[in-house]
Amino acid sequence: MHNKRYFLEFIEREMGRCHRYSRALSLMMIDIDHLKQINDVNGHLAGDYVLRELAAVIRPRVRKEGCFARYGGEEFAYVMPELGGENTRMLAEKIRRLIEDHRFTFEGKDIKVTLSIGVADLVGDMTEPLQFIKVADANLYKAKKSGRNRVVG
């Protein structure tokens, strides 16, 4: 899995390419709901297991031209070149459901895991990665504020 620095370089490069060729580009900011609670109840090793297992479940669904990266803490980012609009929302919902339905079992104990996902599409006036990330992040915040375990954007 990629780290935040690689993600930032990738998104900057893709933003330039997509603006130049008028191509779609989407971004998902993905946050594990209540990871702190998972850590508090089950221990930090369980939290680490959830992070690794979640990445293992999502990774096969990442298109080869995309970038899936750990953004920080319990947050992941998924950049999708050539994808936008409703297709991105359908993919985000598919990922959300996949994690909700996946059985996370650590040391014989099932752990319920859900995601909140904020989605953004690249628009003409976004020239800096942080502008793009801010939109997806604001939608992620709305997903969390409106009850978690949902896609907004």
How many angstroms separate the CA atoms of 139 and 45, rounded?
Answer: 30
Dump pLDDT digits (tens) for 21-71: 999 999 999 999 999 999 999 999 999 999 999 999 999 999 999 999 999
Place of tokens 């990738």: 10
Q: Which residues are catalytic?
A: 74
Structural contact between residues 119 and 26, judged by C-beta atoms closer than 8 angstroms: yes
Record the pTM.
0.95
Dump pLDDT digits (tens) for 117-131: 999 999 989 999 999
CATH number at residue 146: 3.30.70.270
* Nearest one of 106, 102, 98, 134 to 118, comparing CA atoms: 134
Dump pLDDT digits (tens) for 60-98: 999 999 999 999 889 999 999 999 999 999 999 999 999
**Total number of domains constituting the chain:** 1
Q: What is the pLDDT of residue 98?
A: 97
Range of the domain at 136: 4-152
Structural contact between residues 122 and 132, judged by C-beta atoms closer than 8 angstroms: yes
How many angstroms separate the CA atoms of 2 and 130, rounded?
Answer: 18
